[in-house]
Amino acid sequence: MKKYILMLFLFILSCSKEEPNTFSGVFTGDEYLIKSQVSGIVERVNFHEGAKVKKGDTLLVIDHREVTLQIKSLEYTVRDLMLQVNNAKEDLEKAEKLFKSSAITEDSYKRTERRYKSLLLELNAAKYKLLAQKENLKKFFVTSPVDGYVNKKMVNTGETVLPGMSIVELVRPEKVYLNIYVPEDKLPTVKMGQEVDIHIDAYKGRTFRGKVVFISEKAEFTPKTIQTKEERVFLVFRVKIKVENPELVIKPGIYGDAVLK
C-alpha cells in the first residue's frame, strides 16, 4: 500500500512540473534579393537554381552596347580636350609673358585666359561624365554580393529587365533562422539572447542549438503556414531564432520545433 501511495505521489509530482514550451516554425535562410538597376535585354545567365556562387561572381550580363559606345565617345572627347587644354595653356603662358612686356593688350591676354579656363571646365565635365558612365557600365554586369547558393532564378537569357525588377534570390545556408509564433500568455518566457533547443523531424535524436535574436513588438494573426485552421485565428508574436548550421544540413523551408526552456 505504501509503495502504491509513493508511486502515486511521484506521478502527481511529475505532472505538476511545468513542461518546456514547444513551438513549431519554418526555417528561413539569410536571403539576398538582387534587383536590376538598369533596363535592357539579358545577354547571358551564368547560374541555375541551387548553384553555389562566390562573392564577386558575375551572375548575369545585360546588353550594354549603348553604354559602351557612349564610353568610347567620351574617351575620344576627353583625349581631344586634353590636347586643346595643353595648347591653350601654352598660349596662356606666352600671352602672360607678352602682356608683362606690354607686347599685347590686357583684353587680348584676358581672352586667352578665358579660353583656357573654358576648355579646362569642359575637360573636367567630360572626365566626370566618363567616370559616371564607367560606373554605370558595372550595373550591366550583375555580381553576387555574398558567398551562397541560388535559391530562386527569376530571369532567362533574352528577357527584358527593368530597374527594380527582381533577378535572383541568394541564400547563405550557414545562417538559418527559425520563425516561431508565441501567444501573448507565453511571451514572458521568451527573452532576447535566450538559448533554444531545436528539433527537426528529419534528424530525430539530434538537437540543434539556437538563440533568440528578434521578438516582435506587434501582435499578428498566426500565419497560414501553421498547420491547423484553429491555430491561425490566435494573435501571436513572431520570434526569430538564429540556429547554428555549420554542416549546412538545415535547408530553408523545412519545419522545426523550438523548445523554450
Mean pLDDT of the 82-95 span = 96
Query: Is 117 in the same domain as 72?
Result: yes
Cβ–Cβ under 8 Å, residues 239 and 212: yes
Cβ–Cβ under 8 Å, residues 252 and 206: no
| Span 15-54, pLDDT tens digits | 444 456 889 999 988 889 999 999 999 999 999 998 999 9
pLDDT at 27 (0 to 100): 92
**Number of domains composing the chain:** 2
Identify whether 234 is part of a domain.
Answer: yes
Query: Is 100 in the same domain as 26?
Result: no
Q: Which residues pair with 24 in a beta bridge?
A: 257
Indicate the range of 65-69, 111-115, 242-246 predicted with least confidence: 242-246
Give pTM, 2 decimals.
Answer: 0.70
pLDDT higher than 50, residue 92: yes
- Computed over every residue of the chain, the mean pLDDT equals 88
Identify whether 9 is part of a domain.
Answer: no
Query: Is 166 in the same domain as 256?
Result: yes
User: Measured at the alpha carbon of residue 129, what is the angle toward residues 128 and 130, in degrees to the nearest 5?
Assistant: 90
Give the CA-trace dihedral at 104, 107, 110, 112, to 10 degrees: -60
The share of the chain scoring above pLDDT 90, in percent, equals 68
Query: Is 116 in the same domain as 158?
Result: no
pLDDT higher than 50, residue 9: no
Query: Is 117 in the same domain as 243?
Result: no
| Span 225-250, pLDDT tens digits | 554 444 544 788 999 999 988 888 89
Domain containing residue 115: 65-138
**Cα(75)–Cα(138) distance, rounded to whole angstroms?**
17
The share of the chain scoring above pLDDT 70, in percent, equals 88
| Span 119-141, pLDDT tens digits | 999 999 999 999 999 999 999 99
pLDDT at 6 (0 to 100): 44
DSSP notation for 2-40: HHHHHHHHHHHHHHHSPPPEEEEEEEEEEEEEEE-SS-E
